[in-house]
Amino acid sequence: MTLQRFGLFVCNVTLFVLLLLSVLVDGEGQFKGFRRFSREQETNQRAVFEQQWFTQKLDHFNGADTREWKQRYFVNEAFYRPGGPVFLMIGGEGPANPAWMQSGTWLTYAEKLGALCLMLEHRFYGGSHPTIDLSTDNLRFLSSRQALADLAHFRTVMAQARGLTNRKWVAFGGSYPGSLAAWFRLKYPHLVHASVATSAPVYATVNFPEYLEVVWRSLASENAECPLMVKKASDTLVELLKDPKTYDNITKDFNLCSKLQIQTEMDSAYFLEMLAGNFMDVVQYNEDNRGFEGVIGTNITIKVLCGIMGDTSLGDPYARYVAVARLMMDTFFIKCLDASYSNCLRDMTNTSWVGPAAGGGRQWVYQTCTEFGFYQSTDSPNQPFTGFPLVYHVKQCADFYNVSAEQLAEAVAQTNEYYGAYDIRSSRIILPNGSIDPWHALGVTQDISPDLPAVFIKGTAHCANMYPARSEDLPQLALARDHIFLLLQKWLNQ
């Protein structure tokens, strides 16, 4: 499961995400997402679940290309009973975190059903390096189609090696890997019996302004005035950026690493999106950053942010916006913000595996530019931010990979044509989504058929049903987990 807000990568990443990068999937390395486990926990889990390596073809669709590489995977046999199913957790746009091999709802299901649990890291992320570098020429081997073929080959060979050919396999994934879980069942129905595709954006779209519309509604659900204050603050900042005389104050307000320089529209858009990301990420993972509490002892939620934006003692809305940014920096020990788009461009075009964007940023943005789009633009009047329109996102595709707007649009159309977008024609795929999660706008929130059920969970955020149950969970979240289990139980008996 990937746990990040996988929109267009921002090199400096938003404050809240910098340390909260999820490392199973949705989203780690340097993504806009949440690190659910501390480095110490990660190290301990690796000691318990030793990484293993599987030989894959570089190009599954060219029989004349015999090049191979090693893909990382993990195994948990603790719950397996002879004759039981096989659960396969799909990795996404970040390093696979072995902590997920002993934490998560899928393991609760595995214990009840006697399942063997496997997790396969996505090609080009984490330690799974198919090529010598991340040049654009080599990134042509990075795609959802190649990733699905990796899964198919892994499933086939592992089944033969472990005597599991006749066992029923179930795929799990959240966010982008949720889409992969659905598509794995869709494209390889003879290999996977069922899938749980959590928070899966199955519809690709170049422009995704609906993301910020959900952010507005989610903030308003806490306090109707909250998104209005955010919008006033954002609009004020946009006006200030038009006057170079304000740059010294802005630099000081947001503790930038160097004096603010706005030479092009890309510079201002980059800065504005970075600050907006604080709210975007908190909304996406609202009430679900508990995995980090043991490290920093905090839980920043929509309620917290709206409390700050409504606190008149802090000053006008702009001053409160600054207070939010400062809270994030103080909480996550960030000394200063790098607001330079030119630095972002430098980092994102570094093709080394040890480059500053090699944790997943360069790879994931390439996938958005060549398959999905998903750009969370301000091209809607019904959202709280200003200043990072679609043209800003699209230009990054050209700057980073020489992908034109026309090529991007064609690639997104091909993705929907290949997978079917919302019109999934398959069976035994569960499609959970949370109403607070902005990504539900690109997911399936109503049943397609009895064998393609949607599980729409009101009041919950991105991938919430995948995390271990806790006493504070909403009743509807507990019911959703139970419902998913009963469906799996029924389908495994078929």
Residues annotated as catalytic are 175, 437, 462
Per-residue three-class SS string for the chain: CCCECCCCCCCCCCHHHHCCCCCCCCCCCCCCECCCCCHHHHHHHHHHCCCEEEEEECCCCCCCCCCEEEEEEEEECCCCCCCCCEEEEECCCCCCCHHHHCCCHHHHHHHHHCCEEEEECCCCCCCCCCCCCCCCCHHHHCCHHHHHHHHHHHHHHHHHHHCCCCCCEEEEEECHHHHHHHHHHHHCCCCCCEEEEECCCCCCEEECCHHHHHHHHHHHHHCCCHHHHHHHHHHHHHHHCCCHHHHHHHHHHCCECCCCCCCCHHHHHHHHHHHHHHHHHHHHCCCCCHHHHHHHCCCCCHHHHHHHHCCHHHCCHHHHHHHHHHHHHHHCCCCCECCCHHHHHHHHCCCCCCCCCCCCHHHHHHHHHHHHEEECCCCCCCCCCCCCCHHHHHHHHHHHHCCCHHHHHHHHHHHHHHHCCCCCCCCCEEEEEECCCHHHHHCCCCCCECCECEEEECCCCCCHHHCCCCCCCCHHHHHHHHHHHHHHHHHHCC
Cβ-based neighbours of 239, under 8 Å, separated by 6 or more = none
Nearest by Cα to 30 from 277, 200, 335, 259: 277
* Cis status of the peptide bond prior to 27, with omega within 30 of 0: yes
